[in-house]
Amino acid sequence: MSEGHHHAREKSPSELRTMALEALLVERGLISTDAVDAVVEQFQNEIGPRRGARMVARAWVDPAYRERLLADGTAAAAEMGYGGAEGERLVCVENTPDTHNAIVCTLCSCYPWPVLGVPPVWYKSPPYRARMVREPRAVLREFGLQLPDTTAIRIWDSSAEVRYIVLPMRPDGTEHLDEDGLADLVTRDCMVGVAVPHATEGVAA
């Protein structure tokens, strides 16, 4: 851990208690600093929404993979090399012209880590957790997603051990894109269900 130069800025109580905890656990041999480094490095650089986006893009170009993804999300993720904690029971729910899906955890902040990484603050926040099950159309409008009144909305509250990911619809005007180009269109928010992909988008959130 790079704690060698921590001058100037006042440390918060949580930061200090975290450092004290780490020192105690290291002294007791219960953790190593390089193991903690490895977790942080993985979640900063490797395990994030780009993984889920690759799965979505593959499902768009490969009907057989789409079938496997919808039948068993865990196995379809494992095929791509993704799995582990918080992804052992992965279920993929598919958007259609008639139905829009979105995910929430009202009890805490359950989230499919291996395919989306750690959740953003808003996903863990009381407003999202409280309102997404009760007034999803209003929440989606705040995210800039205006769905027709005729679109059925299905909100998945991951209150037990299943973790969900949304398979969005492939946007029109993307026929020329390959799998990587398609994955670029699929943001984290599209896979949570608070956004839909657009042909012009180019940056994964």
Partner 1 sequence: MGGMQGFGTVAPEPGEPPFHEPWEGRVFGMSLTLWATGGPIGGMRPQLERIETGRYLASSYYERWEHALEVMLAERGVLAPADVDRGVEALRAGGWVPERSDPAMVEAVLADMQPRPPARPEGGHRFAAGQPVRVRRISTAVHNRCPRYVRGVVGVVERLLAPDWLPENEDLGEQRRAPCYTVSFAAADLWPDDGADHTVLVDLWETYLEEAG
Q: Which residues contact 167 (CB under 8 A, 6 or more apart)?
A: 56, 59, 66, 69, 70, 92, 93, 94, 95
Q: Binding segment for partner 1 among 51-59, 120-128, 166-174, 177-185 (CB under 8 A)?
A: 120-128
Site for partner 1 in 133-152 (CB under 8 A): 133-137, 139, 142-143, 152
Work out how close the CB of 22 gets to partner 1 at its nearest, in angstroms, rounded to a whole number.
Answer: 5
Q: Please give the torsion angle defined by the CA atoms of residues 174, 176, 181 and 182, in that order, rounded to the nearest 10 degrees.
A: 30
Near partner 1 by CB under 8 A: residue from 159, 173, 180, 181: 159
190 classed as catalytic: no
Site for partner 1 in 31-90 (CB under 8 A): 31-40, 42-44, 47-48, 74-75, 77-78, 81-85, 88-89
Q: Which of 65, 68, 70, 118 binds partner 1 (CB under 8 A)?
A: 118
For 55-106, the three-class secondary structure string (H helix, E strand, C coil) is HHHHHHHCHHHHHHHHHCHHHHHHHCCCCCCCCCCEEEEECCCCEEEEEECC
Name which position in 62, 71, 107, 181 contacts partner 1 (CB under 8 A): 107
- The amino acid occupying position 111 is Y
Catalytic: 108?
Answer: yes
Query: Residue 197 Cβ, how far from partner 1 at the closest point, in Å?
Result: 17
Is residue 98 a contact point for partner 1 (CB under 8 A)? no
Unique residue bearing structure tokens 């001058």: 7
Residues 6 or more apart in contact with residue 174 via CB below 8 angstroms: 181, 182, 185, 199
Q: Does 111 bind partner 1 (CB under 8 A)?
A: no
* Residue with smaller CB distance to partner 1, 68 or 174: 68
d(CA 41, CA 27): 22
Q: How far is the CB of 205 from partner 1 (least distance, A)?
A: 8
202, 184 Cβ separation under 8 angstroms = yes
CA atoms within 13 A on the CB side of 11: 12
Active site residue 110: yes
For partner 1, the closer CB: 61 or 75: 75
The residues annotated with a catalytic role in the active site are 105, 108-110
